[in-house]
Every structure is written in C-alpha cells, then in structure tokens.
C-alpha cells in the first residue's frame, strides 16, 4: 500500500500519518519527491482498509501494491535512485563504467589494466579476488591477497574497486575495503548473506541468477533493502537458455522491465553474457542505447594467457575504442559518465 500526499502536506501531516500506519501494525517508509511525497506501508496490508488513510486531509490517494516487493517498487519510490559508489554516481542519468580483469593475477597485471581502463574513461575497477568456478581444479583467485592488491591499485590509480563476495566470513573485510560489493549469480538467493549485506555501509551490485525470474531477482534486492541497505544496483549478466552457441543469453529487455517496476539502477555485463569477446562491443552499445545505467566489461592486457575467462576479455586498445562509442551514445541520450 502506498499513500500519496497532497503537494501542500506538511511535516506534521507526515508524522501524523506515520503514526496511523504504525497503529495498523505496519512500518512507514517515507519518500520525499521533488513534487510530492509518498509513504509506503511495509507489512501485511491484507486486512487494512485504505479508507482509513484516504479520509486524512493530507492524503491525495491510496494505491494498493500487488507485487510482493515493496521497497524496490517504483510505486514506493517514483523517482530514479542514484547510487553513490565512493563519488561515482550510477543511475538517474549517470552511467557507471566498470572494467578490469576477471581475476586478480598479480599487482603488476592489475595496475597495468587499471591505468589503461581509467585513461579510456572507466570510473570503476573490477577484479576477482575470490573466484567461484564450476570446476574445483580451476583457478580460484588469490583470496585476501588479491583483495589487498586491489586496494593497493586503488590507491595508486585513484579508482574505486568492485569485487565479488562469496562467503559471509568476509563481509566485515569487504565492508572495510571494497567500494562496491558484488554478489554473483550463484549467491543471488543466498538469503542469509543478503540479510547480512543489509547491515553494511557499502552499495551492493546484485547479479541475476542463472535462471532467475525478474520477480525472484527483485525479491533478492528486497532482502537487502529490508535489512537496511537501500543502495542496490542490478546487474544483468545473461541467463541460461536452450542456446549453447553463446555462454548465456543476454536479456536486454530486463533493462526496461527493471526500470518500469523498480527505481533502482541496472547495469549490463556483456562479457559473461556472451562469453565471446566479439559480442562485447555490439551488446554494450545496445545496452546503453536501451537505457542501461552502466556496463561491466572484462579487460585483460593478454587475454590468451588469462587465468580466468580470457575468451570473453578484450584488450585495453579495443576497450578504448568501445568507450569512445559508448560516450557518443550517452551524449545523445543526455547522460553523463559517473
């Protein structure tokens, strides 16, 4: 249930309505918009008569929300949310450009790629310190050593870092050291971990599960938000379908669906979606043209020797060319980078 207030509603009006909401056993969530304010009623509203609120002189209308998700729902928060990642804005007309190697292999490798990516226009550095792999024999990342390398490169280059959290064991360390905490597809429905992320100060990049529906994906964001952290960014990285020619199937219509139903930003990962480097350029450009709030692209100075996902990584020179095209598309749409 969402209560839309009249433009002339005062602070006292809002406080009065919030108390009425609590009397019904619900939790008020007030959003102050540029033109009007709305109050979302969180909880079981099945037996609450909307007329109880409609009679208040400060109320314009009451809207019943059918979807299971509330805090992420655009009805609760009509304006786009902008997520601040250590000074880099994502959403609401601001584009985040995340680039870097699939995995951190060494300080020298990460530093070289970070410098090149930033020079091209990337505003966030990605790199896996912990790597979830299908095979237990594949490279699993450098762990905490890799995290320290990312932190050192951030200090050297001056660029915020993005890396994936696999285990609740490292939540505190990530909250202290990582600018944007990534939750991978395999952990999208790790609800205990999601609730812990609601207690951290860092924004969360939530990747879509391999076969997750839109509602399941949004409900995972709802877990984080309901636990206290409202700074969530969706990341579409392709879903598993019957097609085997590509690694996954990139669902570009997810951009429109997420933006229509939620107020949270969404970025696209064309590297993991296709699994082939020649697919990155067209899919990245299509994503920005389709109103995505950012991109996550794997960049490696020598993809042939990469310890992880070399076939879906592009070299810094190609990344530079791509970003010039991305900037041109963003300019047409009236969007800014970061």
Q: Which helix (H) or strand (E) holds 114?
A: helix 107-120
Residue 33's pLDDT is what?
Answer: 77
CATH number, domain of 19, equals: 3.30.70.1140
CATH number, domain of 201, equals: 3.20.20.70
Partners of 235 in beta bridges:
207, 267
137, pLDDT greater than 70:
no
Do residue 21 and residue 149 come from a single domain?
A: no
Q: How buried is 5 (Cβ within 10 angstroms: 0-12 exposed, 13-18 middle, 19+ buried)?
A: buried
Task: Answer for the pair 126, 103: CB distance below 8 angstroms, yes or no.
Answer: no
**Residue 12: which residues within 8 A CB-CB, separation 6 or more?**
none
Do residue 158 and residue 209 come from a single domain?
A: yes
Residue 307's pLDDT is what?
Answer: 86
pLDDT more than 90, % of the chain? 80
Whether 329 is in a domain gets the answer yes
d(CA 233, CA 109): 28
Do residue 138 and residue 8 come from a single domain?
A: no
pLDDT digits (tens, 9 = 90+) for 92-108: 999 999 999 999 999 99
* pLDDT band with cut points at 50, 70 and 90 for residue 71: very high
pTM score, whole prediction: 0.89
Mean pLDDT, residues 15-30 taken together: 91
Do residue 90 and residue 28 come from a single domain?
A: no
Whether 78 is in a domain gets the answer no
Average pLDDT along the chain: 93
Do residue 55 and residue 136 come from a single domain?
A: no
Do residue 157 and residue 192 come from a single domain?
A: yes
pLDDT digits (tens, 9 = 90+) for 310-338: 899 999 999 999 999 999 999 999 999 97
Whether 71 is in a domain gets the answer no
Of 177, 253, 261, the closest CA to residue 221 belongs to 261
Q: Which helix (H) or strand (E) holds 223?
A: helix 214-226
* pLDDT band with cut points at 50, 70 and 90 for residue 125: very high
Q: Residue 25: give the domain boundaries.
A: 2-63
Whether 70 is in a domain gets the answer no
Do residue 57 and residue 151 come from a single domain?
A: no
132, pLDDT greater than 90:
no
Do residue 45 and residue 138 come from a single domain?
A: no
Do residue 101 and residue 52 come from a single domain?
A: no
Mean pLDDT, residues 70-87 taken together: 93
Number of structural domains in the chain: 2
């Amino acid at each position: 249930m969402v209560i839309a207030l009249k433009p002339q509603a005062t602070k006292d009006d809002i406080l009065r309505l919030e108390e009425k909401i609590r009397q019904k056993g619900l939790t008020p969530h007030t959003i102050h918009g540029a033109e009007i304010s709305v109050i979302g009623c969180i909880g079981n509203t099945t037996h609450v008569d909307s007329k109880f609120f409609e009679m208040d002189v400060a109320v314009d209308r009451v809207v019943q929300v059918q979807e299971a998700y509330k805090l992420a729902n655009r009805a609760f928060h009509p304006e786009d949310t902008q997520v601040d990642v250590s000074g880099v804005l994502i959403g609401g007309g601001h584009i985040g450009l995340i680039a870097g190697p699939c995995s951190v292999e060494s300080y020298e490798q990460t530093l070289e790629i970070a410098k090149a990516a930033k020079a091209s226009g990337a505003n966030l550095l990605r790199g896996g310190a912990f790597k979830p792999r299908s095979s237990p024999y594949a490279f699993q990342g450098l762990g905490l050593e890799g995290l320290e390398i990312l932190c050192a490169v951030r200090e050297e280059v001056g660029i915020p870092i993005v890396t994936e959290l696999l285990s609740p064991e490292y939540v505190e360390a990530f909250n202290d050291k990582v600018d944007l905490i990534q939750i991978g597809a395999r952990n999208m429905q790790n609800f205990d971990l999601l609730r812990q992320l609601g207690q951290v100060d860092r924004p969360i990049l939530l990747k879509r599960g391999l076969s997750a529906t839109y509602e399941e994906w949004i409900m995972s964001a709802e877990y984080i938000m309901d636990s206290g952290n409202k700074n969530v960014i969706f990341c579409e990285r392709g879903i598993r379908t019957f097609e085997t020619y590509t690694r996954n199937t990139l669902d570009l219509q997810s951009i429109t669906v997420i933006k229509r139903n939620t107020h949270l930003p969404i970025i696209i990962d064309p590297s993991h979606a296709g699994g082939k480097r020649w697919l990155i350029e067209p899919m990245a450009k299509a994503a920005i043209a389709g109103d995505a709030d950012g991109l996550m692209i794997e960049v490696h100075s020598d993809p042939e020797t990469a310890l992880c996902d070399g076939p879906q990584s592009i070299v810094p020179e190609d990344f530079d060319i791509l970003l010039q095209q991305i900037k041109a598309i963003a300019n047409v749409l009236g969007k800014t980078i970061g």
